[in-house]
Amino acid sequence: MGRQAADPTYPRRPRPGARRADPGRPGAPEPGGVLAGGGQPADRRRAERGADRRGAGGEGGPVSRVRVVKFGGSSFAGPEHFHTVAAHLAGRVRDGEKLVVVTSGMPGATEELRRLATELHPEVSSPALLGLLPLADTVGAALLRIALERAGLRAELLPPHHIGLASSPAGGQAAALTGVDPVYLHGHLAAADALVLPGGQAADAHQRPTWLGKNSSDLSAVAVAAALRLPGCDIHSDVEGVYDADPRQVPAARLLPTLAYADVVTMARAGAKVLHSGAVELAARHGVTVTCRLNTGDFRVGSVIGPTGDPAYAVVADARSVVLTGDDPDAVEAVLAAEGLATLRVGGAVVATGSFADVPALLAARGRACTVTGQKLLTVLRAGVPEYELVPATELAVVARSRHAALTTVAAVA
């Protein structure tokens, strides 16, 4: 098992002309419009107030603060879960908040749509899939809107072309976020207690719906918070925060209460099941503090991600990683980047991190021969600086526990 120390700004830069990896492509040009910090009409500037300022209330309602909250797919495992989330959000509205709620689809909904599509046509095209898969998030958002109405809230569901998120044309693959125009959001917030948005959806210059890639609901939430000039947003999931290892692999894993943006990006790109790396990069550029919270029970806060945090000591054991060797690693990286997959280099190998895709089949379809080694990526962060190891897949959990035990001792001394 070889190790490789690296600069925490990994992954490896793509060769010139190749797009950066990651579903939201954090290497894409800085989003334009509001996210680029351009000037705005005076009436829009007046509407853009932080969560700690007084915003416009609905007709006949109290003046409210605005907060962006995101709920992942695990929040909506069944009808009762929609009601649980709706009751929590109704309580926040009663406490004086207006909410922009970003949602994902119900667990397994996206993959069920993919299964149905491939059953109809085993070689379904990427554009056809991209027109179908986002509907899982739309259904989740629509169901939450219904639950919010039952809870007594004035809730409105916004379709992609009314969210204000602008993207590049899809072109058969996940689109890149290019900007956010908050004018739609301000208009709808004036008459609603809660706006519900399907995560990961945008529209191109011709108002055609686009998809920002798998797990891009985080990106939507941060982009909306930045566009509304809010100081932070809440990300709810089935764990209350970021741990120093995956608790399912390492029972002794510990919650990290405060983290710096850069460390979370490092962990995400190494395949950790934390936040979308592009979302965290966007939060860093616009000073949006990300608060990680539980999606049920007391909805407690677990981790806060911001400009500074405690030095990160963590182990990331990426069971979804695919380790590849071949004659032309640059070409392999370019193909995977074009498909929106994150990659990094460890020695002479290309590693697709956190991958849900059939990477060998994808490369074969593009005429790129490669060998899958059967190894998995394990990353150890010491004060935020990563070291990579390639370990046999069958030993990943055992090695992760061993590295975590050693790291805990080092962190205690530090």
* Digit-coded pLDDT (tens) for 148-183: 999 999 999 998 888 889 998 866 667 889 998 899
| Longest CA–CA separation in the chain, Å | 68
Question: Residue 117 and residue 44: Cα distance in Å, rounded?
Answer: 42
Strand partners, 5: 387
pLDDT tens-digit readout, 338-349: 777 889 999 999
| Secondary structure class of 382 (helix, strand, coil) | strand
Structure tokens at 224: 């909306």
Residue of 82, 69, 136 whose CA lies nearest to 104: 136
In this prediction, residues 313-327 reach a mean pLDDT of: 95
Asked if residue 175 lies in contact with residue 214, where contact means CB atoms within 8 angstroms, the answer is no
Question: Residue 293 and residue 71: Cα distance in Å, rounded?
Answer: 10
Instruction: Please confirm whether the linkage preceding 160 is cis (ω < 30° from 0).
Output: no
Going 161 to 164 to 166 to 170, the CA torsion angle's sign is: negative
Residue of 173, 170, 172 whose CA lies nearest to 207: 170
pLDDT-derived band at 126 (thresholds 50, 70, 90) equals confident
Question: Residue 326 and residue 366: Cα distance in Å, rounded?
Answer: 14
Q: What is the pLDDT of residue 35?
A: 62
pLDDT tens-digit readout, 188-238: 999 999 999 999 999 888 888 888 887 889 999 999 999 999 999 999 998
Asked if residue 68 lies in contact with residue 61, where contact means CB atoms within 8 angstroms, the answer is no
| Mean pLDDT of the residues in the chain | 83
**H or E segment to which residue 371 belongs:** strand 371-372
For the domain made up of 32-311, the CATH class stated in words is: alpha beta
Question: Residue 189 and residue 373: Cα distance in Å, rounded?
Answer: 52
Question: Residue 212 and residue 203: Cα distance in Å, rounded?
Answer: 10
In this prediction, residues 328-339 reach a mean pLDDT of: 88
- Whether the pLDDT of residue 306 is over 90: the answer is yes
In this prediction, residues 105-114 reach a mean pLDDT of: 90
| Secondary structure class of 127 (helix, strand, coil) | helix
* Domain range list for the chain: 32-311, 315-413
Q: Which of 79-88, 100-109, 120-129 has the lowest mean pLDDT?
A: 120-129
pLDDT-derived band at 125 (thresholds 50, 70, 90) equals confident
Amino acid symbol at 159: P
Q: What is the pLDDT of residue 357?
A: 79
Q: Which of 39-53, 215-229, 338-352, 366-380 has the lowest mean pLDDT?
A: 39-53
In order, the DSSP letters of 61-126 are: SPP-EEEEEEE-GGGGSSHHHHHHHHHHHHHHHHTTEEEEEEE-PPTTHHHHHHHHHHHH-TT--H
